[in-house]
A and B are shown apart, each in its own frame.
Chain A
Amino acid sequence: MEIFIAQLISGLALGSIYVLLVTGFNLMLLVAKIIQFAYPQIVVISMYTCWGVLQLTDNKFLVILAGISISIILSILSEPIFRKITSTQGVDINVSFIASMGMAMIIMDIMSHSINYGFPVAFPSEWVGGNLLRFGLITVSEGQLYALIGGIIAVLLFSFLLYRTNQGRFFRAIAENRFAACLVGIPIVKTSIFSYFIVGVLGGFSAILFSMLIGSASPWLGEFVALKMLAVSIVAGLGNLRGGLVCGLLLGIIEAMAVGYISGSWSNVIAFVVMLVVILIKPQGLFGSKI
């Protein structure tokens, strides 16, 4: 039971990061009409930024600010490229997929060539919160706890934005029916640029939580995460925000349980076997595709 609860906490922490990633990915898919495969790479760059700033200062606030800013800047910088692609007539969404894969490769190669000689970077223990906390027989690390709390807060805040504010309603309107959104006079391009901003914020949050949870970053991390992000959004149903929430948390828990009860090295296999089975049984995803 103690293992179960400890793994559940770590699974929820990991899962809430997946939720942030999948949500950002889905937002891009629905509002900007692109497949943003490079999104996790932006998250990793932002982790590297946090690491770099941590070499210079101990001020956690500055580190967080730097991480989130870089993510926002990169996300917004990619907007004109994607807008050019999507506004050209006769170009389908797969072109944005290829373009973003290219971006992901470029970012990965830059990291592996020029940062820390291509070696993975380790975050200092005062950032990760390596101290173990004991609640009775349950042991969790501080980092896991922060990631869990931060993840839940971020998911709640984003859900509030999406379902309780005007801006969120504009996002949902464009996602659901672009033509009707156009008719009521929602400025599509402006709203789309704002979605890149929001996705940048989500990416920055994910980077900070991720660095606290796993304590390191490597140039290859982005690709692993990108595959999982894609897998979760397909299993949930492409563009299905609520589905992404449930499936992101589930994937985190499944992986954590695999680590706790079987062996850490099997967690990817188990996650992707689950994905294959779901795709075979329900090709539209568990919650139904929205595009």
Chain B
Amino acid sequence: MKKKNNILEIEHLSVTYGPIKAVKKVNLEVNQGECVALIGANGAGKTSLLKAILGIQKAETGNIFFLGKDITRKATDKIVSSGLCLIPEGHIIFSSMTLLENLQLGAYHNPTDFDENLKRVFNYFPILRERSGQIAGTLSGGEQQMLSMGRALMSKPKLILVDEPSLGLAPKIVTDIFDIILELNREGYSILLAEQNAKKALESSNRCYVMKTGEMAISGFSREIIDDPKIRQAYLGGS
């Protein structure tokens, strides 16, 4: 049995694609109410790790515990219904459907308090309310990212995995998106945030892990790491 405040715990997780080892024996944990950053360059294995947590990518070895239960080899729909969700990189949405239909699909496992959840999502993203009848493919990149986040929130998750929310967006919108992530965290959502933009990610997180070529290089409190010039030089490209 795992400790109570431990919402997600990963032990010795490895993920491989054929001959390529994308994630090598990684350990990671997220406590209740934390925002944890997962930092690393392109190809460091962040997305593979997140996909493995959600059961989209098979875990080669290791175990993943969510709320004390082993979810390592569960089907994705079971994992999602237990309260985990992933906001994928590159704002992946159902572009031929309306915004509202996208949000309805997000509530697949949580249809009972649909109206209440919809109201909350519209409070975070007022723009989605204005355009709820619009076809999602006609939205701008930033709005699509917001829709993708709103869709994830419709399932009322206990832990949100966010993959590269800043990818391909204008700086102003990136700031907005990070503000919303911070706000979600303040309201009690536990968040695991994978991000290339180390500065932004460190500023908005309590703790962080740095991945390098599939391995966990360092981990610690974000505030300490952001102040450590050596670590910044070695892993964060001096930014």
Nearest CB of A to B6, in Å: 23
A186 touches B77 (CB 8 A): yes
B76 touches A182 (CB 8 A): yes
- Tell me if A57 is interfacial: C-beta within 8 Å of chain B: no
B56 touches A182 (CB 8 A): yes
CB contacts (< 8 Å) of A262 on chain B: these are none
Closest to B54 in A: A183
A169 touches B101 (CB 8 A): yes
A169 touches B105 (CB 8 A): yes
Interface centre among A170, A176, A182, A186 (most CB of B within 10 A): A182
Known contacts A169-B105, A188-B77, A183 near B93 by CB under 8 Å: no
CB contacts (< 8 Å) of A172 on chain B: these are 94, 96-97
B105 touches A173 (CB 8 A): yes
CB contacts (< 8 Å) of B165 on chain A: these are none
Closest to B109 in A: A185
- Tell me if B88 is interfacial: C-beta within 8 Å of chain A: yes
CB contacts (< 8 Å) of A176 on chain B: these are 94-97
A180 touches B77 (CB 8 A): no
- Tell me if B202 is interfacial: C-beta within 8 Å of chain A: no
Closest to A172 in B: B97
Nearest CB of A to B154, in Å: 8
Interface centre among B88, B92, B93, B94 (most CB of A within 10 A): B94
How many B residues, CB 8 Å from partner?
A: 26
Interface residues of B in 82-106 (CB under 8 A from A): 85-86, 88, 92-97, 101, 104-106
Closest to A189 in B: B75
How many A residues, CB 8 Å from partner?
A: 17
B93 touches A180 (CB 8 A): yes
Interface residues of A in 162-203 (CB under 8 A from B): 166, 169-170, 172-173, 176-177, 179-188
Closest to B106 in A: A184
- Tell me if B81 is interfacial: C-beta within 8 Å of chain A: yes
Q: A184 to B105, alpha carbons, bound, how many Å?
A: 7
Residue of B75, B81, B88, B104 near A183 (CB, 8 A) is B88
Between-chain CB contacts (< 8 Å), 26 pairs:
A170-B105, A170-B108, A172-B94, A172-B96, A173-B94, A176-B94, A176-B96, A177-B92, A177-B95, A180-B88, A181-B105, A183-B56, A183-B76, A183-B86, A183-B92, A184-B80, A184-B108, A185-B77, A185-B79, A185-B80, A185-B108, A185-B109, A185-B155, A186-B77, A187-B77, A188-B77
With A173-B97, A179-B92, A186-B77 already in contact, 19 other A-B pairs whose C-beta atoms are closer than 8 Å: A166-B104, A172-B97, A173-B105, A176-B95, A176-B96, A176-B97, A177-B92, A177-B94, A180-B94, A182-B77, A183-B80, A184-B105, A184-B108, A184-B151, A185-B79, A185-B80, A185-B81, A185-B155, A188-B77
